[in-house]
Each structure stands twice: as structure tokens, then as C-alpha cells.
Amino acid sequence: MNGIFITIEGPDGAGKTSVIKELGPLLERELRIPLVLTREPGGIPIAEKIRQIILDPKNTEMDERTEALLYAAARRQHLVQKIIPAIESGKLILCDRFVDSSLAYQGAGRKIGMDAVASINQFAIEGVEPNLTLYLDVDSDTGLSRIKQGRSAQDLDRLDTESPVFHQRVRHAYLKIAEENQERIVMIDARESLETVIAYCLAAIKEHFPQVF
């Protein structure tokens, strides 16, 4: 049996990291197939190195198309080295971010255009799409205040420190992507409590893939 590829998406401060940390063990307990938790950019050594270059706040001179290409390069390597083998061996993969992040952040946030970013990503993924995407929706004011609360200034990466209007463009792009891909994307209100958001995520996964529980 082929595995199941699930991605989790959302603007900065939506709480993806906390959700995945708790959702992982919950799924592990109930699933009848092995779970792989991974993230982008990163997930394997080459992509983690690319991640450091992209997110380093000292790289102020990075061109936006270079940034988009680096995300796509990290994605390609991660897909080939980790995601595809996991799908082929029948696992359930829960991946923190995927192509939708590039469409929202580079396409809309950086204003490269979603079509241009979609085309370099098609080159990178060769048609491998998630079976389900959980989109944690939060408005940019709430999201930004959450990331500032939780971290000191030196913990903020190059994208976290972008302007509020950048983060608004990201959020609006996510809403548009969710609206246009309703068969793949489940939107979850991430202003709710962590427990509630986790319960919604678990319910969405069970509803979509009852065969693995």
C-alpha cells in the first residue's frame, strides 16, 4: 500500500510547531502504520544546511528569487531522500510546510507572483502532492504577537522579522490557496486553544483516512 502524505501549513505564529509536537505522539498511539514527522526547509542534512543559509538574519542581501530557488532546492532533496521513500514504504508522513508555504511567502509575501513560484516548485516536486493539508489559520496581528511573546529578538529568523504587511500578504495568500483547493486543504481556526486545534487536526486526519486507524 502507498503511504499517506499530510502537510501542515500556516502563517508564522499559527502554532504549527506546538501542534505537531503533540499531534505526533497522539497519532503514533492510534495509527496502524508507521509515522514519519518531518519539516521544511530541512528534514535531512543537505536541506537543513540550505535552511541555515535561507533563515540566517545576517543574509540581508539575499535576492527574493534566490530565496525561492533555495526553498525549492531544499524541498527537492527532502522529497527525494525522505518523503518519496516513506510514501513508497507505506508510512504516514506529517510534514511541517511544503509548496503552499512558498506560494504564500515567496509568491505573495515577496511579490514574485504565485504562478512563477508554482512553476519552479513543479520542477522540484514533479507532481508529488500532499493527500491532505491542514491549514492553521491565524490573523497576522495575533500571529506576530505570538512569535514575539515566545522568543527573544535573536531567536527570530529572517522571515519572522519581516514587516506586518508582508505577513498580511502571506495570510491572504493562504486564504486564497485554501479557497481554491478545498478538496485537499482543511482550514482550522488556530486562534482556538492548542487542545482544540489538535483535536480538529486529529479529527480531520481520521475523517480522511479511516483505513489507517
E-only strand ranges, 22-85: 35-39
Among 97, 146, 169, 171, binds ligand TYD (CB under 6 A): 97
Among 27, 40, 125, 171, binds ligand TYD (CB under 6 A): 40
Which residues, other chains included, contact 127 with Cβ-Cβ below 8 Å and sequence gap of 6+?
Answer: none
> Do residues 82 and 38 touch, judged by C-beta distance below 8 A?
yes
The Cα 74–Cα 82 span in angstroms is: 12
Size of the site for ligand TYD (CB under 6 A): 16
Among 7, 38, 77, 101, binds ligand TYD (CB under 6 A): 101
Beta bridge partners of 7: 95, 133
Question: Is residue 159 a contact point for ligand TYD (CB under 6 A)?
Answer: yes
Q: Provide Rg for the chain, Cα atoms.
A: 16
Residue number, 59 or 89, with CB nearest to ligand TYD: 59
Nearest CA to 134 among 71, 72, 198? 198
Per CB under 6 A, contacts with ligand TYD among 12-31 are: 12, 16-17
Question: Is residue 77 a contact point for ligand TYD (CB under 6 A)?
Answer: no
Residue number, 78 or 91, with CB nearest to ligand TYD: 78
Question: Is residue 137 a contact point for ligand TYD (CB under 6 A)?
Answer: no
> Do residues 72 and 98 touch, judged by C-beta distance below 8 A?
no
Residue number, 86 or 101, with CB nearest to ligand TYD: 101
Among 23, 27, 35, 41, binds ligand TYD (CB under 6 A): 41
> Do residues 13 and 143 touch, judged by C-beta distance below 8 A?
yes
Q: Which residues bind ligand TYD (CB under 6 A)?
A: 12, 16-17, 40-41, 55, 71, 96-97, 101-102, 105-106, 157, 159-160
